[in-house]
Amino acid sequence: MAEKNLVIVESPAKAKTIGKYLGRSYTVKASMGHLRDLPKSKLGIDIEHDFEPDYKPIRGKEALIRELKEAAKESDTVYLATDPDREGEAISWHLKYLLDLNDQKARRVTFNEITKNVVQESIARPREIDQNLVDAQQARRVLDRIVGYELSPLLWKKVRRGLSAGRVQSVATRMVDEREKEIESFKPEEYWTLDAQLLDEPSHKTFTAHYYGKNGKKFEPSSREEIDAVIADTKSAVFAVKSVKRADKQRSPSPPFTTSTLQQEASRKLNMTPRRTMAIAQQLYEGVDVAGEGTVGLITYMRTDSLRISEEALAAAKSFILGRYGKDYYPAATRRFKAKAGAQDAHEAIRPSNVDFTPERLKGDLTGEQYRLYRLIWSRFLASQMANAVYDSVAVEIASGVHEFRASASSLKFSGYTAVYEEARDDDKEEKTSPLPPLTEGQTLELQGFDEEQHFTQPPTRYTDATLIRALEQNGIGRPSTYAPTVSTIIDREYVVKEGKFLRITPLGSVVTKLMEDKFPDIVDTKFTARMEKELDTVEEGKIAWKDVLREFYGGFESNLQKAEKELEGVHLKVPDEETEEVCPECGRKLVIKSGRFGRFLACPGYPECSFTMPLVVEMPGRCPKCGGRLMKRTGKSQKTGKQYTYYCCEFGTSRDEEKKCDFMTWDVPTKDDCPVCGQTMFKKAGKGFKKPFCINPACENFLPEDKRGFVRKKTADAEAAEENAAEESAAEEKPAKKSAAKKTTAKTAAKKTAVKKTAAKPAAKSAKAAAAKKTAAKKTAKKEEN
DSSP letter at 302 equals: S
Q: Are the C-beta atoms of residues 352 and 299 closer than 8 Å to each other?
A: yes
Instruction: Determine which helix (DSSP H) or strand (DSSP E) holds 546, and give its type and residue range.
Output: helix 546-567
Residue 690, Cβ density class (10 Å: 0-12 exposed, 13-18 middle, ≥19 buried):
exposed
Which amino acid appears at position 43 of this protein? L
Amino acid (1-letter code) at residue 553: F
Cis status of the peptide bond prior to 608, with omega within 30 of 0: yes
Q: Within 10 A of 368 (CB to CB), how many other CB atoms are there?
A: 11
d(CA 148, CA 153): 9
79 assigned to active site: no
CA-to-CA distance for 360 and 374, rounded, in angstroms? 10
Displacement of CA 83 from its chain's centroid (Å): 22
Closest-CA residue to 696 (of 635, 730, 648): 648
The 3-class SS string of 509-534 reads HHHHHHHHHHHCCCCCCHHHHHHHHH
Rounded-to-integer distance, Cα 403 and Cα 346, Å: 57
Q: Read off φ and ψ for residue 413, nearest 5 degrees.
A: -100, -40
DSSP class of residue 325 equals T
The catalytic residue among 212, 301, 417, 648 is 301
Q: Count CB-CB contacts under 10 A for residue 556.
A: 12
Helix (H) or strand (E) holding 78: strand 77-80
Bridge partner list, 240: 399, 444
Look at strands 5-9 and 77-80 and give their pairing.
parallel
- Beta pairing partners, 594: 601
Question: 663 near 613, Cβ under 8 Å?
Answer: no
Distance CA 472, CA 169 (A): 10
Residues catalogued as catalytic:
301
